[in-house]
């Protein structure tokens, strides 16, 4: 499994797409957070020592960049026929899925780590220095990582069901959008309060927002882990069907 994981990481970093995703993520969040003056996200002009701009923008940027990372993970294997060779290796289907999943997670971490520089700069600029909601920022980073991990699992599943990378990309973006905002939208048009609550809890946004407030609730973590395992298990099921 670890040899496959190394192969997948080398595949990402050996091509332009891995670096492009990291650069685009940092460029978009950096532009809105520090450079573009006429936006509500600019940290300098807002006068508030907060990283809310990054944590509001990041899920939307990830919604397109993570599917771009994962779209080739299985779609390319299906298209070239190398999936059959991969399935003959002494690995279980879930180990194959997990290796590709963890490779995607590592790329997400590579994209997030440089944003710690933003944290240091805002911490320095605060008046007095260090006057930040450190708990909220830690919770936001945890929430963003869990959100990214769920996005990666959705991308892996979407790549499993097609041999066309573009179709995999579109399908992954659609599913992530539905889970991120679709359930929230449905909860707002229903007149049943109990149903509204259930629908909102099915969506990622409610759990991500809760973590972003610095409240590390195990229910939010369990939600993201369950959603991730659901899509990884679905990807494994699709692989198993090839053997029938």
Ordered per-residue pLDDT tens for the chain, 244 residues:
667 777 777 777 777 777 888 888 888 888 877 777 666 677 777 666 677 778 888 999 999 999 988 888 888 777 777 777 777 777 788 888 998 899 889 988 988 898 888 888 888 877 777 677 778 888 889 999 999 999 999 999 999 888 888 999 999 999 999 998 888 887 777 677 778 888 888 889 888 988 887 777 888 999 999 999 999 999 989 888 766 5
Residue 222, pLDDT score: 93
The per-residue pLDDT for 185 is 80
Coil, strand or helix at 216:
coil
Q: Which residue has the tokens 């990830």?
A: 62
What does 128-193 look like in DSSP terms, one character per residue? STT-S-HHHHHHHHHHHHHHHHHHHHHHHHHHHT-S-HHHHHHHHHHHHHIIIIIHHHHHHH-S-H
* pLDDT given at position 153: 95
- C-alpha to C-alpha distance for 79 and 71, rounded to whole angstroms: 12
Identify the domain containing residue 183 by its residue range.
Answer: 2-241
Per the structure, the count of domains in the chain is 1
Task: Give the C-alpha separation, 79 to 122, whole Å.
Answer: 46
What's the DSSP call for residue 215? Answer: -
User: The tokens of 77 are what?
Assistant: 């294997």
* CA terminus-to-terminus distance, the chain: 23
Structure tokens at 152: 């990666």
The token duo for 224 is: 């993201």
**Whether the Cβ atoms of residue 194 and residue 146 lie closer than 8 Å to each other:** no
Helix, strand or coil for residue 198?
helix
Is pTM beyond 0.85? Reply is yes
Cα–Cα dist 54/180, whole Å: 17
Q: Which residue has the tokens 């006429």?
A: 38
């Amino acid at each position: 499994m670890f040899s496959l994981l190394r192969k997948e990481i080398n595949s990402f970093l050996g091509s332009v797409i891995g670096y492009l995703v990291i650069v685009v993520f940092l460029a978009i969040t950096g532009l809105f957070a520090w450079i573009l003056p006429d936006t509500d996200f600019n940290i300098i002009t807002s006068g508030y020592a907060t990283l809310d701009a990054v944590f509001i923008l990041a899920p939307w940027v990830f919604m397109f960049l993570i599917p771009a990372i994962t779209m080739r993970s299985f779609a390319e294997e299906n298209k070239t026929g190398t999936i059959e060779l991969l399935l003959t290796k002494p690995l279980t289907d879930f180990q194959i899925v997990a290796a590709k999943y963890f490779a995607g997670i590592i790329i997400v971490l590579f994209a997030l780590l440089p944003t710690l520089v933003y944290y240091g700069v805002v911490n320095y600029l605060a008046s007095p220095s260090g006057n930040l909601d450190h708990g909220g920022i830690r919770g936001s980073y945890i929430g963003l990582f869990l959100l990214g991990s769920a996005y990666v699992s959705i991308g892996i599943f979407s790549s499993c069901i097609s041999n066309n990378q573009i179709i995999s990309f579109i399908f992954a973006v659609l599913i992530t959008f539905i889970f991120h905002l679709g359930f929230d939208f449905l909860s707002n048009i229903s007149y049943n309060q109990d149903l509204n609550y259930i629908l909102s809890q099915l969506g990622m946004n409610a759990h991500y927002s809760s973590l972003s407030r610095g409240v590390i609730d195990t229910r939010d973590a369990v939600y993201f882990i369950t959603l991730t395992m659901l899509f990884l298990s679905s990807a494994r099921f699709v692989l198993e069907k090839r053997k029938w």
